[in-house]
Structure 1
Amino acid sequence: MSDRAASWDEAPSGLLVLAGDGTVLDANTTLLQWVGRPAADVLGRVRLSQLLSVGGRIYWETHLSPLLHVEGRVDEVALELRGPDGRVPVLMTAVVAPDGLVRVAVSSARDRSRYERELLAARKDADAAAQRTRVLQDVTAALSAAVGRDGVASALLGTTPSLGARAATCWLTDARGRLVAHSVTGEETGTPGTLPPRSWPRTALVDAGRVLVPLHGRSGLLGVLSLLPDDGAGAEPPDLAMLTAVGQQAGAALDRASLFDRSAAIAHQLQQALLTAPLPQDERVVVSTSYRPGVESLEVGGDWHDAFHLDDDVLGVAVGDVVGRGLDAAIAMGQLRSAVRAVAGPGIGPAGVLGALDRFVRRVPDSTSATLLYGELDLVTGRFRFACAGHLPPLLLERDGTPRLVWDGRSTPLGLTAPGSERPEAAVDLVPGDRLLLYTDGLVERRDRPLPTRLDELVEVGAQTLVLGPEEAVQAVTDRLLPPGEGHDDVCLLLLAWHGPA
């Protein structure tokens, strides 16, 4: 063995060489030991994403692989390999070489004590600034999710404890420009009235034992937040600089609130018009759908579903999600949905449809990075051919088998493919009674629970719905995974139930 070969295999880090599509062409002994697989089972047979955990696979396909093709490298990204004894935390660095191959170095994340010491020292130095940043982030997040003037006032009062106050009153201007008491927390409402006119600065000030925070918008003063400071033991004096920044954020939020209702109403009408289109009627298949608007905000998003006949014996289905929210996302969603119908046709195939959409989204910027699962069901044979552009995998509900997620046919989101590359596609052969569930990420993504856990919950719930009719099954999945009162993004579901040839 040459010195070079020995250094490659004995390196303390995992080393790989990938083809442009992610297929592992070479890997050293260290990497193969970490994943617990012989070289014959890996080299030329699997892609890097198949060696990662479920969360790592999704992150690679939807973020890292597109970034690698665009930037040419990614540095020290935390991922998890699937090892024989469980997950192996690693740090990955990848570079696209001039010959088009991807060189990857993977180091164990367990040996990062030096980095942790440096991070700990830096964190200690930044504690004071971090506290202010956290408060501003909380306020900004609350204001960003607020809908209308009422929502902005409620969001401000909800942040009262983090602003160092034990009570607060929010005053908003009326049609005549007067400051009228709008809402209160922690103190008596008292007799509704108005604040006397005065020249309001753009900075927070202390007046008669209260802190007054002017809320200025583009057109002038839009409100005032009056805070009663916390006087308990250990209470800090008011941070007027931070409160001034809060006032600026709230003023901008009030400006947005005046434009929100009109934009949201148009977007809701557009989205509802698209999602309530008649579904195909065919005795060989039942198509059941569900749409739940997000409850964290009344603003619509870019989720959609669609089903249509390509010919008498082939049914096309699509579930997609445009990046972003609001009117722009709804418009882009409508354009992309129409483009799917325009591009799809006999002989095109799922991969061909996604390839055509890659070219389309480059001319519609708001559609770039949209995710889409497009498939075609042969109503005679039960074969479902599909291609998945960065979207979550479909759930196969076999009549006599165990439900499972189908991870095949995956590639990057729309518009993020390398020039000249072809989209992969896959196929599932259904038997009469089998079902396929397509869905958008709002069904399973939560801030407080990891995605793999939520996907496991989806599989479990799907298994329990096999005894229900298609309509009842869609409703049951939606109700179980989206409990009332729990915040979620927009959600679209589409369930295919194949009954067999007529």
Structure 2
Amino acid sequence: MNIPPVDYGAVFHALPGMVAVLTPGLVYVDVNEDFARLSGRTREQLIGQYLFDVFPDNPNDPAATGSRNLMTSLRRVLVTGERDTMALQRYDVEAPGSPGEWEERYWSPVNVPVLDAGGEVVLLVHRVEEITELIRAHGLPEGDRARVLEAELYTRAHELQEVNERLREAHAREREVALALQEAMLPVPRPLEHHLAAVRYRPAADALNVCGDWYDLVELPENRLTVAVGDVVGHGLAAAGVMGQLRSALSAASRVAVGPAQALDVLGLYARFVDGAESTTAATAFVDCDARTITYSSAGHPPPALLRGGGTVEFLDRATDPPLGARPEHQPRPQAVTGFADGDTLVLYTDGLIERRHEDIDTGLQRLADALVRHRHSDPDALADLVLGELLPPGGATDDTALVIVRL
């Protein structure tokens, strides 16, 4: 089927309802046909003009708050980078061609940011639902109309508050169950016979954002051990359930596989039959203590870090492949080997430790490396707490964090 190219300019102007595009300085860049028609302004009267020069508050109404409320909403979008839906607004507009004559209008605006590749707001989409005729249809005097609107808004706000309260209660219950499930499936590993190790799991601060991070640490015969971490896409009970299945599968595969690539191959094949497992990331490392080698492989996961005793950090990133289920056909995964010396420290973690919104991942990796070097003389338990304390936001992260530290 041949799909013709889309003329997005034509689509924009044909959009139903009033839609405008603004700069961060609140200057009109473009408006669609409905915006010009329903506002009673030509494109020439809008494009290049400051929003509040075109639509100021009615100077004859001391109680007018339309422009102030709209400015607050637009500033909130610029600061947070998130959309803002405003409550119903009375916003009088000066009649076209009749200076000093103001028309009573009722608008319901939504303001949406347009972000660049770095997450900065470069444009604002300002959509306005014009409901003046609906309000006028009540046929009430202005004072009664205001009271009816106020009562209706209060009722809607009260209903919304009740819905939000029920949602919060439901999410809180789901969070408690998901955390209990994760704790049951992420027991503290038994102490290693020949190495000091520490594991940490920190759930997301947001009740809606309990995810499916996991860790595993297994001591094998012949003075070997395996370390793994993973991250299931999604939130809540579903993600926690998938996490349990994948963690168990990888742990079992690691005990019989000849290397980490084969273990992830097995996990990838298994994940094809687990609903919700697609796009899961995982990293695993096989440590041969006699040969002083670390063999590692990653399925779309942030690279393990090797803290050298001399005070440098090497990120193990030479065997990175797509997440589980990302390829339509199965392909063998790569693995790489690096050596280590007594006193080196192996660190595996999930992305909640390093990733921050509007920030390049290299910044988070460098922050981790700096913390590891700064506290390199601490034992694994103290090092884990120090790293979490420095890297996680004071109010808690918005994503789960799993961390495994092994002194080799």
Give the CA deviation at 1:413.
Answer: 0.2
Is 2:182 the partner of 1:271? yes
2:262 to 352, 358, 364: 352
Q: State the match for 1:337 in structure 2.
A: 247
Alignment partners' CA distance in 1, 2:267 and 2:399:
25
Aligned length: 291
Give the CA deviation at 1:491.
Answer: 0.6
Q: State the match for 1:93 in structure 2.
A: none
Give the CA deviation at 1:420.
Answer: 4.3
SS of equivalent residue, structure 1 residue 421: coil
1:125 to 24, 27, 31: 31
Q: State the match for 2:116 in structure 1.
A: none
CA gap 1:401/1:257 in 2 versus in 1, 3 angstroms: closer
Give the CA deviation at 1:299.
Answer: 4.6
Give the CA deviation at 1:128.
Answer: 7.1
Give the CA deviation at 1:257.
Answer: 3.5
Structure 2 counterparts to residues 83-482 of structure 1, below 5 A: 124-125=30-31, 163=87, 207=147, 210=150, 212-213=152-153, 224-225=156-157, 253-254=164-165, 256-283=167-194, 285-297=195-207, 299-482=209-392
CA gap 1:123/1:387 in 2 versus in 1, 3 angstroms: farther
CA gap 1:378/1:265 in 2 versus in 1, 3 angstroms: same
- One-letter code of the match for 1:125? V
- One-letter code of the match for 2:263? V
Contact 1:388/1:410 (8 A) holds in 2 = yes
Q: State the match for 1:489 in structure 2.
A: 399
CA gap 1:328/1:400 in 2 versus in 1, 3 angstroms: same
Give the CA deviation at 1:289.
Answer: 1.2
CA gap 1:391/1:261 in 2 versus in 1, 3 angstroms: same
CA gap 1:252/1:128 in 2 versus in 1, 3 angstroms: farther
CA gap 1:486/1:346 in 2 versus in 1, 3 angstroms: closer
Q: State the match for 1:94 in structure 2.
A: none
Give the CA deviation at 1:316.
Answer: 1.3
Alignment partners' CA distance in 2, 1:128 and 1:449:
36
Contact 1:288/1:494 (8 A) holds in 2 = yes
TM-score using structure 2 length: 0.63
Give the CA deviation at 1:210.
Answer: 2.8
SS of equivalent residue, structure 1 residue 315: strand
Alignment partners' CA distance in 2, 1:208 and 1:163:
15
- One-letter code of the match for 1:471? D
Give the CA deviation at 1:212.
Answer: 3.5
Structure with bigger gyration radius:
2
Alignment partners' CA distance in 2, 1:481 and 1:467:
18
Alignment partners' CA distance in 2, 1:488 and 1:122:
35
Contact 1:323/1:370 (8 A) holds in 2 = yes
- One-letter code of the match for 1:277? V
Contact 2:209/2:399 (8 A) holds in 1 = no
Alignment partners' CA distance in 2, 1:301 and 1:491:
9
Contact 1:339/1:357 (8 A) holds in 2 = yes
SS of equivalent residue, structure 2 residue 333: coil
Alignment partners' CA distance in 2, 1:123 and 1:414:
43
Q: State the match for 1:29 in structure 2.
A: none
Alignment partners' CA distance in 1, 2:372 and 2:88:
47
- One-letter code of the match for 2:233? V
CA gap 1:321/1:122 in 2 versus in 1, 3 angstroms: farther
Q: Which has the higher strand share?
A: 1
Contact 1:311/1:346 (8 A) holds in 2 = no
Alignment partners' CA distance in 2, 1:480 and 1:128:
49
For residues 42-84 of structure 1, give each alpha carbon's deviation from its aligned partner in whole angstroms, at most 9, with x where no partner exists: xxxxxxxxxxxxxxxxxxxxxxxxxxxxxxxxxxxxxxxxxxx
For residues 427-479 of structure 1, give each alpha carbon's deviation from its aligned partner in whole angstroms, at most 9, with x where no partner exists: 12111000111111111111143222122111111111112111111111111
Contact 2:311/2:373 (8 A) holds in 1 = no
- One-letter code of the match for 2:199? T
Give the CA deviation at 1:346.
Answer: 3.9
TM-score using structure 1 length: 0.52
Give the CA deviation at 1:207.
Answer: 2.9
SS of equivalent residue, structure 2 residue 279: coil
Q: Which runs of 5+ in 1 are unaligned?
A: 1-120, 145-158, 166-204, 215-222, 227-246
Q: State the match for 1:100 in structure 2.
A: none
Contact 1:438/1:495 (8 A) holds in 2 = yes
Contact 1:384/1:427 (8 A) holds in 2 = yes
Contact 1:433/1:497 (8 A) holds in 2 = yes
SS of equivalent residue, structure 1 residue 288: strand
Q: State the match for 2:6 in structure 1.
A: none
CA gap 1:297/1:431 in 2 versus in 1, 3 angstroms: same
Once the two structures are aligned, what percentage of the paired residues are identical?
33
Contact 1:302/1:324 (8 A) holds in 2 = yes
Contact 2:272/2:278 (8 A) holds in 1 = yes
